[in-house]
């Protein structure tokens, strides 16, 4: 009993209890939250103000079921709680977050944490959902049973936060005498105790939640479920093309306007060329895809928040098992559709090391959002905008096909890996299904804003830098009169060298050149092509042409298709390679990854080119 000053407070509890939502509400941070277990895989810290005027460091942790870790992310939680995390003291107090609607399950771990004998406060979160389900909980009774303060909260509506911070502030002077000794209990005894405590605290409970049960009957139906999932994804890709057009037109118009303004107001010379060819043509060609990125993420975020995504993982489990993976890999692979980097990091929630390694190695085959601009520009230029059936556009269908192509590739690779380098039995899959909810609009908008910002920041930094570097290499040395600038430039020489290797798979000189800076980020393939063609343009008229027209004029259909096939497989992303190195602790696996992916890309592009040529396309 002392009134020690708190310095650090950690949020701990089962997965999907709402720890990150509380963390965001208490610190103003924007940690990712989503309606499935295993979202947070790292410790994250932020500053939380206390009502008395002081402040503490609040730490958000990965969800865990106990202090006996079964996966790398749970190990982080255990280390932080026990004070064994490198370079960090144990937290001065714990905020144990429990889901009121799943009280019994969450109390198992909560008891273990309370028994550590640290200053502790229980946040009885999601009481809104408990109430909706007809569950009334007596926080006082729960507090008596556990011997620590219990504060009802609704993290996403900021309810109960004042009471919670007050309780945290007072936690330093808690009386530990009231706590019950549960430290020595076995798991079974702890479960029994959890059931009794929950029973004692639940005042009333209405019948089962019928609506949700019947939703699950349909959505998890053995064959109806996959059909619905497939249909939903199909709609997503149609929407990416069908809805984005007017917005893309707006952005294109704006860029053209600025471009014309620059041409009119600046004298001819390097500054003007730099702005027009490098910045506006190059980086601008990527930025126009912002609407498609936003549409794609609106669907992904809504599926995550509603609770449907976890059902999709459940549905996929059987299919994943047939290639030797567990449904656990589904969420990391799904995250990889945004970007392989968080996807590879999310594999920390996979307990089995071989499962985890296999998932890391195939994550780059999931179509990340950086490929979207590359696919979209080629599809817009070469695939006719026709309807193959009512509401089924050909362009959306091809995009869907490219995603499926990547998934099938990943499944085959997983199958091969699981028979060879990562041989072993697939582990079982247990995942509690989160409840359904209407996605909170605020969270959805914040999520979209974050994605848009990530995309624009990439355009302003890495894509910008790579494009400008290329523009410089394209612009020097200057061509003699009559010679083409591309031929004369340093970049042109490099392109000629690359072209020797890439001509057999149908790539032209511009592609051979574009894929080098695209190692920095895949979108650079688009900006690099735009800049190359802008530099190459010999007269005013050619300069005014957009990238789409230049591609149509300069590329054959087999070449365009080979380019698409290349991007399905090629590991054109240095950051992914770096994160694979970090997560596998060495260079061996990233090298394996890069080599097999480039080999696949080369073969796939070649086969596509020669196949299409043979078909007379």
Ligand X SMILES: Nc1nc2c(ncn2[C@@H]2O[C@H](COP(=O)(O)OP(=O)(O)OP(=O)(O)O)[C@@H](O)[C@H]2O)c(=O)[nH]1
Tell me how far apart the alpha carbons of residues 73 and 348 are, in angstroms, rounded to a whole number.
Answer: 5
Q: Which does 15 bind (CB under 5 to 8 A by kind): ligand X, Mg ion, none?
A: ligand X
Smallest separation (angstroms) from Mg ion to the CB of 39? 5
Question: What three-state secondary structure class fits 213?
Answer: helix
Contact call for residue 105 and ligand X (CB under 6 A): no
Q: Where in 266-305 is the site for ligand X (CB under 6 A)?
A: 305
Beta strands in 156-216 (DSSP E): 202-205
Q: Which does 128 bind (CB under 5 to 8 A by kind): ligand X, Mg ion, none?
A: ligand X
DSSP letter at 68 equals S
Tell me how far apart the alpha carbons of residues 273 and 363 are, in angstroms, rounded to a whole number.
Answer: 39
Nearer to Mg ion, 435 or 458 (CB): 435
- The number of residues that bind ligand X (CB under 6 A) is 27
Exactly one of 19, 118, 190, 348 binds ligand X (CB under 6 A); that residue is 19
CA distances from 617 to 12, 397, 445 (A): 59, 18, 43
Nearer to ligand X, 71 or 238 (CB): 71
In DSSP notation, 358-417 reads: HHHHHGGGS--TTHHHHHHHHHHHHS---EEETTEEHHHHHHHHHHHHHHHHHHHHHHHH
Exactly one of 62, 327, 373, 606 binds ligand X (CB under 6 A); that residue is 62
Contact call for residue 135 and Mg ion (CB under 5 A): no
Residue 103: burial class (beta carbons within 10 Å; 0-12, 13-18, 19+): buried
Nearer to ligand X, 33 or 577 (CB): 33
Instruction: Supply 184's token pair.
Output: 């020595």
Nearest residue to 490 (alpha-carbon basis) of 514, 473, 471? 473
Contact range with ligand X by CB under 6 A, out of 123-131, 507-515, 561-569, 601-609 = 123-131
Contact 416, 356 (CB under 8 A): no
Tell me how far apart the alpha carbons of residues 408 and 319 are, in angstroms, rounded to a whole number.
Answer: 11
Exactly one of 14, 24, 40, 285 binds Mg ion (CB under 5 A); that residue is 40
Q: Which does 277 bind (CB under 5 to 8 A by kind): ligand X, Mg ion, none?
A: none
Nearer to ligand X, 41 or 579 (CB): 41
Nearest residue to 517 (alpha-carbon basis) of 249, 278, 228? 278
Exactly one of 12, 16, 517, 602 binds ligand X (CB under 6 A); that residue is 16
Smallest separation (angstroms) from ligand X to the CB of 340? 20
Nearest residue to 2 (alpha-carbon basis) of 83, 89, 93? 93
Contact 311, 433 (CB under 8 A): yes
Nearer to ligand X, 125 or 608 (CB): 125
Contact call for residue 366 and ligand X (CB under 6 A): no
Contact call for residue 21 and ligand X (CB under 6 A): yes
Q: Which does 38 bind (CB under 5 to 8 A by kind): ligand X, Mg ion, none?
A: ligand X
Sign of CA dihedral 160, 162, 166, 171: positive
Nearer to ligand X, 154 or 463 (CB): 154
Nearer to ligand X, 292 or 305 (CB): 305
Contact call for residue 39 and Mg ion (CB under 5 A): yes
Q: Where in 403-462 is the site for Mg ion (CB under 5 A)?
A: none
Contact call for residue 34 and Mg ion (CB under 5 A): no
Mode of pairing for the β-strands spanning 135-137 and 202-205 = antiparallel
Nearer to Mg ion, 39 or 564 (CB): 39
Tell me how far apart the alpha carbons of residues 17 and 546 are, in angstroms, rounded to a whole number.
Answer: 50
Binding footprint of ligand X on the chain (CB under 6 A) = 15-21, 33-35, 37-40, 62-63, 125-126, 128-129, 154-156, 305, 437, 440, 443
Binding footprint of Mg ion on the chain (CB under 5 A) = 19-20, 39-40
């Amino acid at each position: 009993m002392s009134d020690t000053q708190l310095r650090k407070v950690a949020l701990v509890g089962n997965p999907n209890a709402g720890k990150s939502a509380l963390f965001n509400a208490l610190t103003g941070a924007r940690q990712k939250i989503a309606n499935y277990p295993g979202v947070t895989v790292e410790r994250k810290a932020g500053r939380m103000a206390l009502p008395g005027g002081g402040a503490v460091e609040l730490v958000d942790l990965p969800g865990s079921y106990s202090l006996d870790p079964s996966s790398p992310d749970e190990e982080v939680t255990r280390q932080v709680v026990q004070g064994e995390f490198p370079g960090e003291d144990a937290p001065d107090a714990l905020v144990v977050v429990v889901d009121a609607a799943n009280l019994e399950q969450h109390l198992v771990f909560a008891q273990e944490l309370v028994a550590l004998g640290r200053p502790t406060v229980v946040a009885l979160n999601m009481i809104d959902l408990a109430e909706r389900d007809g569950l009334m909980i007596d926080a006082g009774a729960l507090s008596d049973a556990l011997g620590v303060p219990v504060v009802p909260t609704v993290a996403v509506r900021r309810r109960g936060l004042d009471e919670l911070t007050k309780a945290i502030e007072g936690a330093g002077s808690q009386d530990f005498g009231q706590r019950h000794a549960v430290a020595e209990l076995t798991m079974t005894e702890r479960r029994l105790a959890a059931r009794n405590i929950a029973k004692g605290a639940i005042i009333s409970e209405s019948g089962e939640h019928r609506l949700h049960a019947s939703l699950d009957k349909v959505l998890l139906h053995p064959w109806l479920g996959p059909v619905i999932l497939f249909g939903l994804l199909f709609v997503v890709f149609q929407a990416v093309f069908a809805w984005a057009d007017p917005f893309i037109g707006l952005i294109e118009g704006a860029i053209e306007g600025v471009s014309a303004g620059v041409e009119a107001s600046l004298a001819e010379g390097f500054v003007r060329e730099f702005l027009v060819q490098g910045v506006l043509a190059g980086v601008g060609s990527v930025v126009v895809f912002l609407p498609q990125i936003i549409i794609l993420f609106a669907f992904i975020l809504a599926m995550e928040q509603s609770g449907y995504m976890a059902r999709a993982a459940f549905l996929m489990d059987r299919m994943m098992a047939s290639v030797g993976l567990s449904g656990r890999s589904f969420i990391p692979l799904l995250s990889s559709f945004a970007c392989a980097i968080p996807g590879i990091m999310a594999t920390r929630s996979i307990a089995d090391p071989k499962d985890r390694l296999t998932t890391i190695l195939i994550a780059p085959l999931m179509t990340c959002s950086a490929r979207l601009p590359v696919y979209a520009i080629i599809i817009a230029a070469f695939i006719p905008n026709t309807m193959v059936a009512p509401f089924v556009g050909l362009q959306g269908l091809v995009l869907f096909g490219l995603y499926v192509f990547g998934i099938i590739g990943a499944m085959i690779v997983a199958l091969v890996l699981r028979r060879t380098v990562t041989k072993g039995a697939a582990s079982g899959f247990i995942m509690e299904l989160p409840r359904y909810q209407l996605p909170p609009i605020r969270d959805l908008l914040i999520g979209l804003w974050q994605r848009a910002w990530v995309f624009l920041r990439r355009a302003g930094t890495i894509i910008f830098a790579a494009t400008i570097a290329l523009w410089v290499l394209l612009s020097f040395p200057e061509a003699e009169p009559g010679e083409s600038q591309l031929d004369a430039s340093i970049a042109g020489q490099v392109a000629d060298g690359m072209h020797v290797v890439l001509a057999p798979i149908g790539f032209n000189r511009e592609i051979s050149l574009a894929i080098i800076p695209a190692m920095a980020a895949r979108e650079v393939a688009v900006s690099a092509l735009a800049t190359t063609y802008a530099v190459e343009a010999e007269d005013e008229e050619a300069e005014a042409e957009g990238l789409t027209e230049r591609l149509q004029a300069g590329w054959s259909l087999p070449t365009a298709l080979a380019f698409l096939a290349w991007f399905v497989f090629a590991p054109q992303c240095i950051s992914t390679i770096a994160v694979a190195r970090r997560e596998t602790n060495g260079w061996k696996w990233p090298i394996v990854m890069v080599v097999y992916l480039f080999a696949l890309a080369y073969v796939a592009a070649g086969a596509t080119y020669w196949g299409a040529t043979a078909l007379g396309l």
